[in-house]
């Protein structure tokens, strides 16, 4: 890679990227994902939102010395063009042209960060999807700058698209190449290379049940939006759509639907954020899939229970598929619970910036509604390189059985992530009664046969609560009242450990840290094992 980068940085290589300039564009890709007007208005004043945090970066944001590489990569992707397009004003249009032109002047030749395949692919996607807004017939100079730069970037991307990291970034790189081949007259020959790269990525990353192998609902949404955008661009350009592309869309859409709570937003697993309900609705509508949301996704490792207005989404997967766990969390057997539009039990969320201290903290098992032993992660978190393994076999073995009867659903889940450090197997049962007003569970720890190592001293079962839910102990300390509104509350009872209420945090929206509460059930580990039983029953005033 170092040698390759040295070659890319030479004048000879950049000369090799020159070629004929496309005569025109065929139009912009159809797009269902609009930006945010407020963010676009901020960009007019030199302010950019990076990982949820507003930053004043001026007219050359990429040159700021206060940014880390993760933030630079985000800026070089030009996501903010969608926000300027959503704003829709002449000032927004002029700002977009200005930033794009200045970028070409500064980064028009290969740059290590700015020209990474995935970054280049997303930048080209954002340029193409907003060009119909940015172009100005009265100033053809901008159009020529756009055509020259996109052609140069596409030639480089066509040579590097197969070298992309083996995760969602491979899909991002392939999309930019495909859209360029479809949208630019004279670049059609690159379509075959782009489709081959996309097909290879999809065949590995989209699992048989339709889940993306990184197990992140936000990535699931992004990949579906990408597939739909490519398909619709091919249809608009009267290019035959490959069967495998439509088949991927038909599998991805039901899985995305399965990862939504009653508020229409996404569950928080493996780096996901809530997202926007209108945006998710729009993507699913554009996908056009007639298949209903899944209840069980055994390949991806999630279970969904919906009864009445209540929803349970549980993580029943190991999360260490090869190439899939770069940003994964150690939330084995964690779950979330919502009633109507109210999230009640949640995971703490995520921070997308790898340079931020919150990023690693939120990946820990303790940041999930799950069980921990001695506050140790159920599976090893490796800084910057995904998840490791604690079990003797080199991976965490996770299994799940599901039973349904008369509107009620019973999950029996198990993982051995604590076998190697403590010799214990965790079993979690979750039951949701018909009607959705009665949620029950059991967390049990069993000693693994023939284990001779050190034992854990304490266990803790955490139920993180959404910030809009208050909690206080009741009934002499053996239960807690979770207040959702003035007219609705839930009583959480538990046996097998001490019950208490403590502070927590919530990052369901990027960059926004909210104070919250959590209910904890804890106690000493015994040589005979541990059994905690709990119930959450709705009480209306």
pLDDT at 386 > cutoff 70: no
- Structure token digits, residue 317: 């997967």
Q: Name which of 541, 522, 540 is nearest 532 in CA terms.
A: 522
What pLDDT does residue 121 have?
98
Of 80-84, 393-397, 476-480, least confident by mean pLDDT is: 393-397
What pLDDT does residue 508 have?
96
For 288-328, how does the pLDDT look when each residue is reduced to its tens digit (9 = 90+)? 977 677 899 999 999 999 999 999 999 998 755 555 667 78
What pLDDT does residue 31 have?
81
Q: How many CB atoms lie within 10 A of CB 513?
A: 14
For 17-55, how does the pLDDT look when each residue is reduced to its tens digit (9 = 90+)? 999 999 999 988 988 778 899 999 999 999 999 988 889
- Using the Cα atoms of residue 333, residue 339, residue 344 and residue 346 in order, give the sign of their dihedral: positive
Coil, helix or strand for 275? coil
Q: Name which of 122, 143, 111 is nearest 14 in CA terms.
A: 111
Q: Name which of 362, 388, 503, 531 is nearest 446 in CA terms.
A: 531
- Spell out the residues 6+ positions from residue 6 whose beta carbon is closer than 8 angstroms to its own: none
pLDDT at 73 > cutoff 50: yes
- Using the Cα atoms of residue 28, residue 29, residue 34 and residue 38 in order, give the sign of their dihedral: negative
What pLDDT does residue 380 have?
82
Q: Strand pairing of 398-405 and 479-485?
A: unpaired
Q: In angstroms, rounded to a whole number, what is the distance separating the alpha carbons of residues 473 and 493?
A: 10
Q: What is the 3-state secondary structure (H, E, C) of 340-358?
A: CCEEEEECCECCCCCCCHH
For 425-462, how does the pLDDT look when each residue is reduced to its tens digit (9 = 90+)? 999 999 999 999 999 999 999 998 888 888 999 999 99
Average pLDDT over residues 529-535: 96
Q: In angstroms, rounded to a whole number, what is the distance separating the alpha carbons of residues 71 and 194?
A: 27
What pLDDT does residue 391 have?
41
Contacts 24+ apart (CB under 8 A), 298-301: 298/209, 298/400, 299/207, 299/208, 299/209, 299/211, 300/207, 300/209, 300/210, 300/211, 300/212, 300/213, 300/215, 300/255, 301/211, 301/215, 301/398, 301/400
What pLDDT does residue 345 have?
98
Edge-to-edge strand ranges of the sheet holding 530-540: 398-405, 408-415, 424-432, 438-447, 530-540, 488-495, 479-485, 470-474
Domains and CATH numbers, the chain: 30-196 (1.50.10.100), 206-290 (no CATH), 310-461+524-540 (no CATH)
Q: Rounded to the nearest 5 degrees, what angle is found at the Cα of 87, between the Cα atoms of 45 and 47?
A: 25
Q: Where are the alpha helices (DSSP H) in 184-298?
A: 191-205, 217-236, 243-258, 277-287
Total residue length of the chain: 541
Confidence category of residue 413, pLDDT binned at 50, 70, 90: very high
Q: Strand pairing of 296-297 and 530-540?
A: unpaired
- Structure token digits, residue 191: 């379509």
Model confidence, pTM: 0.95
What pLDDT does residue 394 have?
44
Of 54-63, 261-270, 462-471, least confident by mean pLDDT is: 54-63
Helices (H) then strands (E): counts for the chain? 15, 19
Chain Cα centroid distance, residue 248: 18
pLDDT at 108 > cutoff 90: yes
Say if residues 351 and 329 touch (Cβ distance below 8 Å). Answer: no
Percent of the chain with pLDDT strictly greater than 70:
95
pLDDT at 468 > cutoff 50: yes
Average pLDDT over residues 204-209: 95
Across the chain, what does the average pLDDT equal?
A: 92
Phi, psi of 497 (to 5 degrees): -170, 170
Average pLDDT over residues 344-354: 88
Coil, helix or strand for 156? helix
- Spell out the residues 6+ positions from residue 296 whose beta carbon is closer than 8 angstroms to its own: 209, 303, 304, 402
Q: How many CB atoms lie within 10 A of CB 111?
A: 17
What does the DSSP assignment read for 31-74? ------HHHHHHHHTTEEEETTEEEE-TT-GGG-TT--HHHHHH
What pLDDT does residue 291 have?
66
Q: Name which of 115, 105, 101, 224 is nearest 160 in CA terms.
A: 115
- Structure token digits, residue 164: 């992309």
Q: Name which of 164, 285, 270, 166 is nearest 224 in CA terms.
A: 285
């Amino acid at each position: 890679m170092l040698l390759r980068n040295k070659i890319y940085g030479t004048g000879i290589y950049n000369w090799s990227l020159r070629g004929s300039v496309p005569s025109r564009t065929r139009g912009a890709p159809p797009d269902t994902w609009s930006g945010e007007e407020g963010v676009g208005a901020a960009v007019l004043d030199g302010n950019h939102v990076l990982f949820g945090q507003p930053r004043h970066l001026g007219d050359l944001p990429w040159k700021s010395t206060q940014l880390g590489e993760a933030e630079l990569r985000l800026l070089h992707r030009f996501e903010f063009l969608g926000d300027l397009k959503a704003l829709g004003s002449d000032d927004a249009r002029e700002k977009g042209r200005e930033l794009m032109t200045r970028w070409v002047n500064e980064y028009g030749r290969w740059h290590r960060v700015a020209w990474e395949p995935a970054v280049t692919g997303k930048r080209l996607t954002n340029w193409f999807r907003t060009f119909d807004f940015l172009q100005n017939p009265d100033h053809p100079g901008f159009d020529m700058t756009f055509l020259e730069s996109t052609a140069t970037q596409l030639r480089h991307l066509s040579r590097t698209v197969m070298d992309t990291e083996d995760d969602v970034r491979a899909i991002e790189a392939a999309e930019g190449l495909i859209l360029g081949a479809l949208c630019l007259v004279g670049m059609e020959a690159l379509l075959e290379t782009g489709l081959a790269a996309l097909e290879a990525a999809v065949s590995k990353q989209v699992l048989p049940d339709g889940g993306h192998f990184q197990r992140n609902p936000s990535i699931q949404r992004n990949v579906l939006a990408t597939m739909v955008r490519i398909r619709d661009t091919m249809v608009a350009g009267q290019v035959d759509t490959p069967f495998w592309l439509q088949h991927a869309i038909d599998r991805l859409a039901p899985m995305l639907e399965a990862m939504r709570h009653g508020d229409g937003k996404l569950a928080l697993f493996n780096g996901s954020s809530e997202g926007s309900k209108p945006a998710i609705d729009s993507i699913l509508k554009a996908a056009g899939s007639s298949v209903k949301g899944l209840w069980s996704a055994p390949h991806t490792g999630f279970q969904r229970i919906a009864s009445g207005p209540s929803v349970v989404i549980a993580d029943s997967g190991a999360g260490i598929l090869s190439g899939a766990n770069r940003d994964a969390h150690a939330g084995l057997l964690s779950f979330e619970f919502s009633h109507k539009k109210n999230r009640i039990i949640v995971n703490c969320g995520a921070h997308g910036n790898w340079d931020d201290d919150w990023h690693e903290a939120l990946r820990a098992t303790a940041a999930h509604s799950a069980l921990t032993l001695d506050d140790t992660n159920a599976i090893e978190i490796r800084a910057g390189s995904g998840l490791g393994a604690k079990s003797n076999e080199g991976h965490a073995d996770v299994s799940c059985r599901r039973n349904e009867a008369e509107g009620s659903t019973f999950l029996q889940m198990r993982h051995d992530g604590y076998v190697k450090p403590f010799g214990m197997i965790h079993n979690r049962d979750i039951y949701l009664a018909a009607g959705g007003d009665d949620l029950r569970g059991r967390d049990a720890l069993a000693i693994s046969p023939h284990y001779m190592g050190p034992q854990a001293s304490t266990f803790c079962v955490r139920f993180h609560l959404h910030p809009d839910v208050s909690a206080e102990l009741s009934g002499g300390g053996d239960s807690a009242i979770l207040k959702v509104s003035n007219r609705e509350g839930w009583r959480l009872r538990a046996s097998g450990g001490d019950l208490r209420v403590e502070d927590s945090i919530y990052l369901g929206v990027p960059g926004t840290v909210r104070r919250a509460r959590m209910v904890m059930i804890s106690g000493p580990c015994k040589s005979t094992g541990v059994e905690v039983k709990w119930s959450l029953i709705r009480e209306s005033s």
